[in-house]
Structure 1
Amino acid sequence: MRLFLFIAILIFTQAVQASKVAIIIDDIGYRQTDEAVLSLPSSITLSVLPHTPLGETLAQHAHQQGHEIMLHVPMQALNGKTLGPGGLTNQMNEFEFKQQLDSAFNSVPFAVGVNNHMGSLLTQLDEPMQWLMESLKQRQGYFIDSVTTRYTRAESTADTIGIPSLRRQIFLDNDTSTTGLEKQFQQLITLAHQQGRVVAIAHPYPETIDFLNENLHRLSSQGITLVNASQLLPYNIAQQPGSATTRLK
């Protein structure tokens, strides 16, 4: 009985210690206050909007500090909201789509993956998602679905094309009050213990950055490791030669 209890405790301890969380800060590039993301630990992944006033400089500085950089691509939404520079729409043909994506990548140095900004319409469409994943395959990049619609086709298309992908499981700062941030941070910890691996998305709000700088240490005390997004990619895909994870190691 004692041996069984010891083994159970050992397995539980190993499971807790194996828990990993990736936190992506996106919507970066427009506001001077976005520079505060550079105060965050390098294990925080930063996703930068294309063709923004501060995007290129922030990506360069963040990369020098060891952050993993992603491209936060604006995609057409159901509400018709203006996309801004570098946006992808269903009015584009394949050439226009891929050219726009190439230009976006060129504006954000060191980007190794993509997540969508908005996209509740575009991520439902098979053809644009196929073009996106084909482009990422050429770049040996990965995709993280921000999940702005439950009808998204992005992840399934990525699987078909052979692109390593993940999906966002929790937003940390839809409510930037201390109470709201604490509630979501506790939920992050709970999910990490339950699921082992969690992708969270937050934004460069001053309240969010202050909260994370003050509370990230709580993850390690819970046996949770904060990692870059690429470190959560599926092993059987991410370890293939030339993949994003392989190149980052």
Structure 2
Amino acid sequence: MTDELSAPLGRKRRKNNKSGSPSPMAWPWGRIGAALLALIVLGVVGWIVLVDDPLGGRPVAEAPVNTQPVENPVAIELASPSEPAQATATPADGPSIITLSDIPADDDELAAAGPNRDLFEMTENGPLPRVSPSGLAPHEAYARPSISPASAGGRKLIAVVVSGLGLSEATTREAIDALPGTVTLAFAPYGGNLTALADEARADGHELMLEIPLEPFDYPQNDPGPHTLLVDQPPRDNLEKLYWLLTRMTGYTGVLNHMGARFTASAADFAPVMEELGLRGLAYLDDGSSNRSVAPQLARQNDVPYARIDAVIDTNPSQAAIMSALDGLKAAADQRGQALGILSALPVSIRTLADWADTLDEEQYLLVPVSTLSTLEANQ
């Protein structure tokens, strides 16, 4: 009774069991559980630290991994059996670049074997033109040998370029076979078999150019095609498009604009492109469609060989009209000593040009590749 009166109010004394020990309900179960969990964790950690293979006993599958770099098919095709190309990755701000080992080739080997490996660097999109380590530029290496203006003996120089090739294999092969090698062939970048067709054209003696689509004033109603270089775009975006276009084929001396009256009039947008052409040793041919083009000034600033088309030959795509326009090209050469014309890859245009070239009086006129007049224009 006294003990109960001395206990704090509101609390009841715990009753001991008969043995005098605390009841199991009074045990510190929370602390006991925490201690057991800590022991389990320590055991697992100790197992991982002390045992070499903590996952031993589980099923394991092994797969072989090839640590060698996958060779690019273009490099495989161009590399000789005795000297395989060595590919090493190099960092760059632009596309991923693979530099191939330098293999010397003289001019005869270059003409017979196709594109020189020193004159391109392999990217994820394909071979990108460049100046070789020895300083040889594509516009020099791939130019068709021709008589120089100084040695022409007073004869007038005429160059004709056929544009839009590569889209139709049949028409492209007709142009390659029917036209003399002194006619320059310009390929659109969208053909599905450009590499093979370009190789055939070069093997037949033709000088090649690549068309690049540039923004016209009425874009996008008039769309030159995918990867068109646009005004008011970040320079890096236009350069990435240019890289893709330049990798469509190899063995060409330079580029020809496809449309682009608005783009070629914008020095801010055109300047980085022309600078890149100069760094990569490529020429630029202006199709002559815009008098607002700043291409001449930019080409001069960046040491880019430049020429401008004087006349579009097949505006009227009929045999009689084309023949008349070609005779007009001769009249322009009579006045200035040289003339440069362009026509499209239409069967009637190709056949008429072939017939006209067969009757050209070589005592008075010489049919020359575009590079001959490009060099002449660049030095004026």
Q: Specify the SS of the correspondent of 1:71.
A: strand
Higher helix fraction: Structure 1 or Structure 2?
1
Q: Contact 1:31 / 1:54 at 8 angstroms: preserved in 2?
A: no
Shift of 1:92: 2.7
Between 169-178 and 54-63, report the one with greater CA deviation.
54-63
| Paired positions, count | 224
**Hey, what does 1:73 align to over in structure 2?**
212
Quote the Cα distance in structure 1 between the aligned partners of 2:193 and 2:200.
Answer: 11
Which moved further from structure 2: 200-209 or 97-106?
97-106
Instruction: Indicate yes or no: 2:114 matched with 1:114.
Output: no
RMSD: 1.9
1:115-173 deviation digits (Å, cap 9, x = unpaired): 10011111111022211211111111111111221111111211122212110001111
Shift of 1:14: 4.3
Aligned counterpart for 1:168 among listed residues 309, 328, 333: 309
Within a 5 Å distance, the mapping from 1:44-193 to structure 2 comes to: 44-80=183-219, 81-193=222-334
Partner of 1:20: 157
**Aligned-partner SS, 2:247:** helix
Whether the 8 Å contact between 2:187 and 2:208 is mirrored in structure 1 is yes
User: Which secondary structure does the structure 1 equivalent of 2:253 belong to?
Assistant: strand
- Does the alignment pair 1:219 with 2:360? yes
The superposition leaves residues 68-109 of structure 1 with CA deviations (integer Å, 9 ceiling, x where unpaired) of: 111111111112112213321114321121221122111121
Q: How far apart are the structure 2 equivalents of 1:122 and 1:110?
A: 26
Worse-superposed segment, 40-49 or 77-86: 77-86
1:42 aligns with 2:186: no
Measured after TM superposition, the shift of residue 193 of structure 1 is 1.2
Partners of 2:202 and 2:339 in 1: how far apart?
A: 23
Residue 121 of structure 1 aligns to a residue whose secondary structure is: helix
In structure 1, how many angstroms separate the alpha carbons of the residues matched to 2:349 and 2:241?
31
SS in 2 for 1:107: coil
Does the aligned pair in 1 maintain the 2:314–2:325 contact within 8 Å?
Answer: yes
Greater gyration radius:
2
Aligned residues: percent identity? 23
What's 1:206 paired with? 347
Q: Which residue of 2 aligns with 1:241?
A: none
Give me the whole-angstrom Cα distance separating, in 2, the residues matched to 1:171 and 1:53. Answer: 27
- Give the Cα separation in 1 of the matches to 2:328 and 2:363: 13
Q: Which runs of 5+ in 2 are unaligned?
A: 1-151
CA contact (8 A) 2:165 2:172 kept: yes
Deviations 1:151-203 (A, max 9, x none): 11111211122212110001111111122112101101101111111111111
2:166 alignment counterpart: 29
TM-score, normalised via structure 1 length: 0.84
Q: Deviations over 1:9-35 (max 9, x none)?
A: xxxx943x2x11111111112123233
CA distance 1:171–1:221, shift in 2 (3 Å): same
Give the Cα–Cα distance (whole angstroms) in 1 for the partners of residues 377 and 309 of structure 2: 20
Structure 1 residues 79 and 54, CA gap change in structure 2 (3 angstroms): farther
